[in-house]
Amino acid sequence: MSELVKSAFREYYFKHAARAIEAPDAIESREFGYAQLGVPGMVRHLSFRSVGELVATLVREVPSDVYCSNALYRFPTLAMQEKQWLGADLIFDIDGKDLDLPCVPSHSYPVCAACKRVSSPIGDDDDDEKSKEYSCPACGGRKAEQLISIPCARCVEGSKKEARRLVEFLTGDLGIDKGRVNVYFSGNNGFHFHIKDDSYRPLDSQARSDLVGYLAGVGLMAESIGVRRSPQGEFVKFPKSGLALGWRKKVADRLKIDQSSAVRLTHILKEKGGYAGFKAELDRMTREMGVRIDPQVTTDVHRVFRMPGTLNSKSGLAKVKCDLDRLDSFDPFTEACLLGSAKTKVKVKTHVKFRLKGEPFNISKETAELPAFAAVYLVCKGLAEAV
């Protein structure tokens, strides 16, 4: 990582860390870790007695990324098997790259596997992507080793849609108080959820996995909706507990049925070709209505999670809290863009378009003078180098 990024990060932590960093409760029982600019791996098994102690370390070390455990430990600085786990907060990660959004090809920049040349996006969400093939403009290579994506407003809206859906599940299906649901922009392309409810802390990995399965709509039985089978064939018999709650209600509403709709559900069953066909349609339906979250983040009870108020080295943007009542209007490209505006020269690797702090950038020149926040963003993305 360049000196430009390190200088910008240092200025941020020096000026803003004291008020921007959101310390977790029971800070002395948490494990902390951070990655260093240009250094592989992570410094882990750290402990702080106060947020002031933590801030002093950030200002001194200027980390690229800062993490805090969702778990509480009796001895957070010891090796994992010796920490003595006391429970873990419930957390979720919605990552825009996992949502298969149609706009992504139009703002993904391929990097040639042979010569490392970065070129302009080869796809557009209005075009037939299958008809497009990558060819490096420098060496003619046909293989891209990676795609560098600059999230757009449609990406953010896609992530917000999943976030709103997760809030509905947590507050509606699980009955979690809305005030205990804390939502943060991740600092790059998604949202993090921290559930501040002590009753979930004792859950082990399996229980959290079961919860993820429920939220994602995995494994709902056809019998739960009233479709059953016997040696004599398929038939409809609604559950005695009804269709008024949870996934039963969601599916019933989608199928436009209730406890009095045996004839309609029988017709749907026949239309889908019997039990197997109905179950396949049910699986498709629940996947569509479920929430797409990263299961590993939620099920890992020893995970270190990006800390609110710290910078993300993939973008130079900060992880910032989003008020649930104004999630719709939240603009991460403005509200999470907290670096300075000093003019900085960079060498841009390809023609690039993006928007930060309400300002559009459309850069086609090889060398450009940009505000520091925009220059750092491109360098962190791998689309520019400091001059």
What percent of the chain has pLDDT above 90?
Answer: 89
User: Residue 127: which pLDDT band, with cuts at 50, 70 and 90?
Assistant: very low
- Per-residue pLDDT, 2: 82
| Average pLDDT along the chain | 94
User: What pLDDT band is residue 133 in, cutting at 50, 70 and 90?
Assistant: confident
User: Residue 48 in contact with residue 32, Cβ under 8 Å?
Assistant: yes
- Verify that 81 and 193 share a domain, yes or no: yes
Using alpha carbons only, what angle is made at residue 25 by residues 37 and 170, rounded to the nearest 5 degrees? Answer: 95
Look at residue 37 in the predicted model and tell me its pLDDT.
Answer: 87
Beta bridge pairs of residue 221: none
Task: Name the catalytic one among 95, 258, 283, 325.
Answer: 95
CB 346 within 8 A of CB 367: yes
Q: 346 and 275, same structural domain?
A: no
Q: Is 210 a catalytic residue?
A: no
Supply the pLDDT for residue 131.
43
Residue 120 lies in a domain: no
Residue 251 domain-assigned? Answer: yes
Do residue 86 and residue 230 come from a single domain? no
Are 293 and 300 in contact by the 8 Å Cβ rule? The answer is no
pLDDT of residue 376: 97
CATH code, 71:
3.90.920.10
**Is 50 a residue whose pLDDT tops 60?**
yes
| Total-model pTM | 0.92
Residue 361 lies in a domain: yes
According to DSSP, residue 57 is labeled H
In a domain, residue 192? The reply is yes
Taking residues 250-278, what's their average pLDDT? Answer: 95
Whole-number pLDDT of residue 132:
67
Residues 191, 309 within the same domain:
yes
The residue range of the domain holding 62 is: 3-92+184-198+294-333
Going by pLDDT thresholds of 50, 70 and 90, the confidence category of residue 1 is low
Together in a domain, 41 and 190? yes
Domain identity same for 189 and 263: no
Average pLDDT over every residue of 210-222 = 95
Q: What is the DSSP string of 287-317?
A: HHHS----HHHHH-TT-EEEPTT-B-TTTS-
| Mean pLDDT confidence for 338-358 | 95
Looking at the structure, do residues 10 and 71 belong to the same domain, yes or no? yes
Catalytic residue among 93, 98, 283, 325, which? Answer: 93
Catalytic residue, from 98, 124, 197, 294: name it. 294
Give the whole-angstrom CA distance, residue 13 versus residue 222: 53
Instruction: Look up 128 and say whether it is catalytic.
Output: no
| Within-domain flag for 171 | no
Structural domains in the chain (count): 3
Helix (H, G, I), strand (E, B) or coil at 78: coil
Q: Do 301 and 318 fall within a single domain? A: yes
Residue 122 binned pLDDT confidence (cut-offs 50, 70, 90): confident
Residues 39 and 71 in one domain: yes
Mean pLDDT of 292-321: 97
Span 315-330, average pLDDT:
96
Same domain, 191 and 299: yes
Is 39 part of a structural domain of the chain? yes
The CA angle 284-289-290, to the nearest 5 degrees, is 100
Angle at 290 between CA 125 and CA 285, to 5 degrees: 80
Which pLDDT value is given to residue 126?
A: 44
Both 56 and 188 in one domain: the answer is yes
Greater confidence, 128 or 205? 205
H or E stretch at 59 = helix 51-61
Q: What is the mean pLDDT of residues 84-91?
A: 98
State the amino acid at position 59 in one-letter form: V
Tens of pLDDT, residues 12-31: 999 999 899 998 999 999 99
Residue 316 lies in a domain: yes
Residue 152: pLDDT over 60: yes
191 and 88 in a single domain? The answer is yes
Q: Give tens-digit pLDDT for 66-82.
A: 999 999 999 999 999 99
Active site residue 300: no
Q: How confident is the model at residue 183 (pLDDT cuts 50, 70, 90)?
A: very high
